[in-house]
Structure 1
Amino acid sequence: MKVPQVTGKLREVTAAYARDPTVIIERSYRAITQSDPTYAGLPSSTKGDFLESIRFSAVLWCKTLLTGEYPSDHDMETFRNVGRRRVHQGIELASLLRAYRVGSKELWAIYLEFSSEHHDVKDELLSTVSPYLLDHFDEMAQAIATAYMEEQYEQSRWKDALRYELCNLVFGATGDVDEFNRVSETIGIDPTIARVAFALNLDVPDTLPSRVETELDRMMLVVARMAKVNAADLVRAMYRGRLIVWMPCIRGDSVLASDRRMGELAARLIANVPEFKQMGVGMMGQGPSGWSGSVEEAVKALEIGERHGGGDGVYRYSDIALNEGARRSDNVLRYLESLVERLSHEPDLLRTLECYLEQFQKHKQTASVLGIHPNTLSYRLERIQEIAGGSLEDPAWLAKLYVATRLRKDSL
């Protein structure tokens, strides 16, 4: 690409702009901020860098016209660094290229205005400088776009490596809170916000690993959109053959409110994402132990849901929390098992008790489900009280019986 070397008045004005490009900077900045709200709302530190990049680009343009030489390797590297910085400043590539296009258009408008006042430079501007203008800014746009995409790729790899490290901290034995906080903050995740783990059974085509990762990335975008969160706030991992997704909670939410909200989100995801077949939902937890505990809860809920089936494919740990809590204490477990142990020798009575509890102690509904006469149901309930030694009018005893029958059912 041949670089023209300007002469006469065109050279004089170009040298003046090279010494003081203020007018180019101000007009370009105004045109860019009016065309793209991304640049209009830049923080002060980024705005300063943006103005400096306009200055550098304008001076570089003037320098090439004055010397007749293509920008040096050092100049090009400085220019590419602009593209790299925009990645970390959160500016999208489309906005970056639009800004460069609008800025170059404004610079050309300034030169055209000068030629309208000095007709003797018009021929040189249009016949000599104009063709080079297109080549110059096209070449520079390609350079800045390439640098941007390379930096974006490296950033993605770096973040993937840190996310992998974060997952190791969650599933590892050390539970290093300080390191967990450091890695979280490095990749832009707030470690003080509690999260809920989703454990998913997926239906993903048998294909190349790279293709699977692409599919998982696509699914995460869908999840983020439906959850109304930034995709970068989601953390995923594969664990025991399931996809784990840690979903951020709303700061200040109670455990009850979070569980309800996450259950509703899980139901929407199962209904709208064909690849999601079944989902276990843990309870909210914070820090490495909280994240890990939520995963174990989600997987446990999913495993029990897989065994029993039914429902909408969403299984919440909160629905089995009492049962699982009882399992962790041998004494409590033995006590609850003893409540229904005497009834195990009379299957009709045990089935009647289970149905009665499932139907919320409604006599007519229970009799209908069992297909028996209401009098028969009353007789059986009296027998249950006699054998088990308690009153079905006692809420505390009913709660114990409910947990005991659920534990027995889960163990079958």
Structure 2
Amino acid sequence: MTGDKTGTTHDLRIGGRPLAPLLRARAPRLSQRVLERLLSELPTYTELPREAVAGDVADIVQHSVRLFADVLERRRPAADAALARQRESAAQRAEEGVPLDAIITAYHLGVAMIAEELTADARPGDVADILELQRHLLRTQRQLTSAVSAAYLETRQLIDSQEDGGRHALMAALLAGEPVGDRSGRRGVLRPADWYVTLALFLAPHPDETDHGRAPGAAIAARRKIRRVRVVLDRYAGQPVMTDLDATGGTALVPVPAPPPWDELRGLVAACAKAAGAPITAAAATADPADPAAVPSAVSQNTDIVELLLRTGRPPGLYRLADVLLEYQLSRPGEARDRLALLLAPLDHKPVLLTTLETYLREDLDRTATATSLHVHPNTVAYRIRRITELTGLSPHRPTDLHHLHAALLARRCGP
């Protein structure tokens, strides 16, 4: 009777042949077949440099086949030290950006091909040896999966920590208006992009965040929302984007080779909103990092624009300064803004009249449309407009007064 221990009475055999010598003899040919399957079934491996596939990948495939032969010969688990080459290879794949699932799939494919190779000539009397073979293969596969995953994740954690540190330092320097040079990162240095699209984003809550009865669930939903937005930005840039985002939004610096068309940026923000599952209000401007003041100036202006958009009730979407010139100017502190706001001071304690005026102007002085919006009779609208004129001295039917009324409302909305 065979077993998973020393002192067994005979070598593992299938079809009358001992498995360990058979696997060693067939290792070169079998390894080549495994490599061909990897390249045909796992596209990630076709993206590696040819020398990497012909060198390290081919070597580790054959080394792993021979490891299984050693396990079958000793009929005991592989020693931890025997997995060192696989750990080193996993760390190298992590540096090359090969996904972990592709690496694990490659090992599973290799184990399946070893099993097929060794059981091809099985006979009815080989059942016990086949079962022991399966136990050895599955146990060694678990060992490899654990060792390879640990080495891969450790390397990725180190890489991500170094790269995130470099990006954080670069972003901090750009936002502070400091001259930026090369910053340390995974590939030696992180160089400033030729241009940056500076984005200020306001992220509305995702529906899952509004479940006040499940605070931990709301926090998870917020993190998922942020992560999905980052994925869209990274995909657009073709590299990790520098971001400082929380559940309500923040700042993103998107590296670009040249200022992109505005419609392209509008599409980018729309894609972010779709991925987030929540409306996004944003402002954008393109900045040249060669000018240390360009990025912080653009970020500050974008932030002001987004705050202005939210105060004035603009719909979600992407805006630039040209879209809100009048509102932006009126939002700047000064005597002119204060005096404009005072024009409507007589309506401070008459919210019905103020709402009627806002609606009347929004409806382009259409009394019927205003009445419909306010759910009142058109004659009521006419009466209220007369009262507004009596109190303020301004009539929306006089062109000069109309401009003043528009500006006064904006000054009130844009002010502190």
Higher-helix-fraction structure: 1
Contact 1:282 1:298 in 2 (8 A): yes
Q: How does 1:124-163 map to 2 (within 5 A)?
A: 126=130, 131-163=135-167
Deviations 1:325-365 (A, max 9, x none): 5666x8xx666777x589568879x9799777644577986
Task: State the aligned residue count.
Answer: 381
Aligned counterpart in structure 2 of residue 198 of structure 1, from 187, 196, 201: 201
Contact 1:53 1:82 in 2 (8 A): yes
Corresponding residue number in structure 1 for 2:110: 103
Change (3 A) 1:365 1:246: same
RMSD (Å), alpha carbons: 5.5
Corresponding residue number in structure 1 for 2:41: 35
Corresponding residue number in structure 1 for 2:65: 58
What secondary structure is seen at the aligned counterpart in 1 of 2:235? coil
2:320 paired with 1:320: no
Change (3 A) 1:360 1:170: farther
2:178 paired with 1:175: yes
Contact 2:225 2:275 in 1 (8 A): no
Q: CA deviation at 1:27?
A: 0.7
Q: Distance in 1 between matches of 2:116 and 2:225?
A: 46
Q: How does 1:278-297 map to 2 (within 5 A)?
A: 280-286=281-287, 287=289, 292-297=296-301
Q: Given the two structures, how large is their TM-score scaled by the length of structure 1?
A: 0.65
Unpaired runs of 5+ in structure 2?
A: 372-377
Q: Distance in 1 between matches of 2:362 and 2:212?
A: 41
What secondary structure is seen at the aligned counterpart in 1 of 2:181? helix
What secondary structure is seen at the aligned counterpart in 2 of 1:196? strand
Q: Given the two structures, how large is their TM-score scaled by the length of structure 2?
A: 0.65
Unpaired runs of 5+ in structure 1?
A: 393-397
Paired AA for residue 44 in structure 1: R
2:86 paired with 1:79: yes
Contact 1:301 1:315 in 2 (8 A): no
What secondary structure is seen at the aligned counterpart in 2 of 1:285? strand
Q: Distance in 2 between matches of 1:128 and 1:346?
A: 93
Corresponding residue number in structure 2 for 1:219: 225
Change (3 A) 1:226 1:323: same
Q: Distance in 2 between matches of 1:359 and 1:259?
A: 31
2:92 paired with 1:88: no
Q: How does 1:210-289 map to 2 (within 5 A)?
A: 215-223=221-229, 229=235, 233-237=240-244, 242-246=248-252, 248=254, 252-255=259-262, 257-258=263-264, 260-261=266-267, 264-265=270-271, 268=274, 272-273=277-278, 280-286=281-287, 287=289
Range that drifts further, 95-104 or 85-94:
85-94
Corresponding residue number in structure 2 for 1:22: 28
Change (3 A) 1:266 1:75: closer
Deviations 1:81-131 (A, max 9, x none): 222223333333332222111112223333345x57xx9x97997477554
Change (3 A) 1:341 1:83: closer
Q: Distance in 1 between matches of 2:380 and 2:338?
A: 24
Change (3 A) 1:264 1:145: closer
Q: How does 1:38-49 map to 2 (within 5 A)?
A: 38-48=44-54, 49=56
Q: CA deviation at 1:177?
A: 2.7
Q: Distance in 1 between matches of 2:368 and 2:217?
A: 56
Q: Distance in 2 between matches of 1:410 and 1:177?
A: 35
Contact 2:90 2:148 in 1 (8 A): yes
Contact 1:356 1:362 in 2 (8 A): yes
Change (3 A) 1:146 1:281: same
Q: Distance in 2 between matches of 1:143 and 1:11?
A: 23
What secondary structure is seen at the aligned counterpart in 1 of 2:382? coil
Change (3 A) 1:303 1:252: closer
Contact 1:282 1:316 in 2 (8 A): yes
Contact 2:100 2:152 in 1 (8 A): yes
What secondary structure is seen at the aligned counterpart in 2 of 1:283? strand
